[in-house]
Structure 1
């Protein structure tokens, strides 16, 4: 009897691996790579034990929410997908972008996200939140999506994703994305080691555990679950904050954007190179180790090239310092991200499902490689050049996996 069950299980798994695969991509914003151990996330840990977990997921520069979420679903560096920070300035458009503006004007995005790639090739997609997933990019949206609303109950997100996966085959999405923000929110307010972050981690862990169990019990199609986060989190201190009002910037010559972990200075059309060089020299002279000025070489190494959304001067810093415009009495300790890549900035990557090997831990890697990995699982052909490399995660795919098409 036991031998019969083993053979039956083998053929069932083989059938699932050869059937059309479904991918569910869930982002837990701000979930640092070590939160499973630090704060206790047994359900997520159990899912990892059934598939693959990386030592860390390296964010693109800057390690901010919108650039990294777009890099995960496009396989491109921010300079190529268009969303170079949560907030930035475009010197050609003479406009400022702030988080979510692509929904009102999709020309901010210069890219092909995974849900578009799927829809263009006849695969339905559904998004229960993902930065800019409501935007009509290339004239298309996912077949199913929700306009972003922070108060949307987290349980509703799980219920809806399960419901999508149970739809009849002609209308069922094979790509589903979900998003949870609470871990990031608590990290900013209280810091990564706080009780509040621990509580948020346990809350999301319970939901993910429920979702995984319901996939096994209620869903009849082969589902591969990919858990990611966009970045990690690190402590910042009020007494280490750098007051940007002290910088000698002529507002008639420059536009500025304070991105907290970096300060961007854009030259106006009438600003001369000499004026840019003079300001750079002044800022360098007053740095006193509190911040540094990004060089062309350093930016190139970070995947940043010259363009209308790349500031003429970029100031960077390291935790526990950050840039602020707040009065001293309004400054608070907390958490932040957006710094150069480090272990504190590393996010989470876990993948499990019938098409994924049980391969335990793998080395940390850049999040730009997830896009071609998902495309391969879904049987999609890449339609545009990307920065990611499909060979990086190809070894994670089961040798039994074959595309139906």
Structure 2
């Protein structure tokens, strides 16, 4: 009997990708790598035990929501997909980008997300929220998508994913994305250790458990579930926040953007290299400063490239320090992300399904490697240069 079962497993292992596979990619915003144990996410733990769980998912720099969600679905560093932070300035355009601006003007994005890759090769895609998934990138969207609306009930997202996967074959998507924001929201308000975060984790855990059960019991096609998060969360302190107005910055020479964990200075047209150097020196000489100035060498190692969206001077804080524009009376302890080299920034990566080798083991890895993995599961050919490496997650696929 044991020999028969082993032979059966080998048969399915070799033939899993002979069928057309479906991928459901779910992001739980702000779900730190250790929340499964810390906040007792039983259903997500069970899915991990049925498949593969990485030691951690390393976010791209900066560990912010929009750049990381785009890196997950493009396999590119932010410098290449275009969304280099949640909020930033472009010196060529002389415009500021704010979260979601690509919906109205898709020229902010210079990339090919997985739903476009699929659609261009005749595979239908669906997105129930994903940062910038409503944008008409390369002239098109997924076949099915929703305009982002925070109040949309979380359970509706599960229902819609199942309904899409029950469509007739000609109309059914084979790549579906879903997104939950509540864990991140509670993490920011109360910090990662709070009971409110535990409540949010357990709420989403219940929904993921329902989704997993229904994918296995109600859907007639082979579905591989991928659970990710864009970043983790770490505590911050109100009494250690740096008032941006206390920084000696000449705003006649620089546009500034406060990204909470980073404060960025962009040279205005006409600002000289000497003036940039003088401004840098003035900031370096501040006594008792609780920030550092990023070097070009470090930025390059993190995938940052020269260009109009790269700030000329970047001030970086380390947790629990952040930058703020709020008056002291409205500052509160809480949580945030956006740091690097901090294990608290790691998210999760879990995958399970008929095409997944559940015996594989996976260390921490960068989220840029998920895109070629999904393309392989879907049988899609890459159409653009990416930063991710298909070999990193190749051991997870059953036909290897």
Shorter-chain TM-score bucket reads over 0.9
Shift in alpha-carbon separation, 1:299–1:152, aligned structure 2, 3 A: same
- How is 1:121-200 mapped onto 2 (pairs within 5 angstroms)? 121-200=121-200
Query: Take 1:232 and 1:55, find their aligned partners in 2: how far apart are those partners?
Result: 13
2:105 match: 105
Query: Take 1:361 and 1:4, find their aligned partners in 2: how far apart are those partners?
Result: 25
Under a length normalisation based on structure 2, what TM-score does the superposition of the two structures give? 0.97
Shift in alpha-carbon separation, 1:285–1:178, aligned structure 2, 3 A: same
1:313 match: 313
Unaligned stretches of 5+ residues in structure 1: 401-405
1:403 match: none
| Residue pair 1:28, 1:181 contacting (<8 A) in 2 also | yes
Structure 1 counterpart SS, 2:392: coil
Query: Take 2:361 and 2:194, find their aligned partners in 1: how far apart are those partners?
Result: 27
The CA deviation string for residues 291-325 of structure 1, in whole angstroms up to 9 with x for no partner, is: 00001101001110111000010000100000001
- How is 1:232-271 mapped onto 2 (pairs within 5 angstroms)? 232-271=232-271
Query: Take 2:335 and 2:142, find their aligned partners in 1: how far apart are those partners?
Result: 33
Shift of 1:373: 0.3
1:298 match: 298
Shift of 1:331: 0.5
The CA deviation string for residues 209-249 of structure 1, in whole angstroms up to 9 with x for no partner, is: 00000011100000000000000000000001011101122
Structure 1 counterpart SS, 2:370: helix
- How is 1:354-373 mapped onto 2 (pairs within 5 angstroms)? 354-359=354-359, 361-373=361-373
> Are 1:348 and 2:348 counterparts?
yes
The CA deviation string for residues 144-192 of structure 1, in whole angstroms up to 9 with x for no partner, is: 0000000000000000000011111001000000000000000000000
Query: Take 1:215 and 1:51, find their aligned partners in 2: how far apart are those partners?
Result: 15
CA-atom RMSD in angstroms = 1.7
Query: Take 1:112 and 1:334, find their aligned partners in 2: how far apart are those partners?
Result: 35
Q: Displaced runs of 4+ in structure 1, greater than 6 A?
A: 1-14
Shift of 1:29: 0.1
Query: Take 1:247 and 1:129, find their aligned partners in 2: how far apart are those partners?
Result: 38
Structure 2 counterpart SS, 1:171: coil
2:323 match: 323
Shift of 1:2: 10
Query: Take 2:45 and 2:132, find their aligned partners in 1: how far apart are those partners?
Result: 29
> Are 1:78 and 2:78 counterparts?
yes
Structure 2 counterpart SS, 1:239: helix
- How many residues are matched? 400
Shift of 1:288: 2.3
| Residue pair 2:121, 2:380 contacting (<8 A) in 1 also | yes
1:379 match: 379
Shift in alpha-carbon separation, 1:372–1:58, aligned structure 2, 3 A: same
Unaligned stretches of 5+ residues in structure 2: none
Shift in alpha-carbon separation, 1:317–1:4, aligned structure 2, 3 A: closer
| Residue pair 2:360, 2:396 contacting (<8 A) in 1 also | no
Shift of 1:15: 5.5
Structure 2 counterpart SS, 1:200: helix
Under a length normalisation based on structure 1, what TM-score does the superposition of the two structures give? 0.96
2:91 match: 91
The CA deviation string for residues 37-77 of structure 1, in whole angstroms up to 9 with x for no partner, is: 00001100010111110000000000000000000000000
| More moved, 59-68 vs 271-280 | 271-280
1:334 match: 334
Shift of 1:5: 9.0
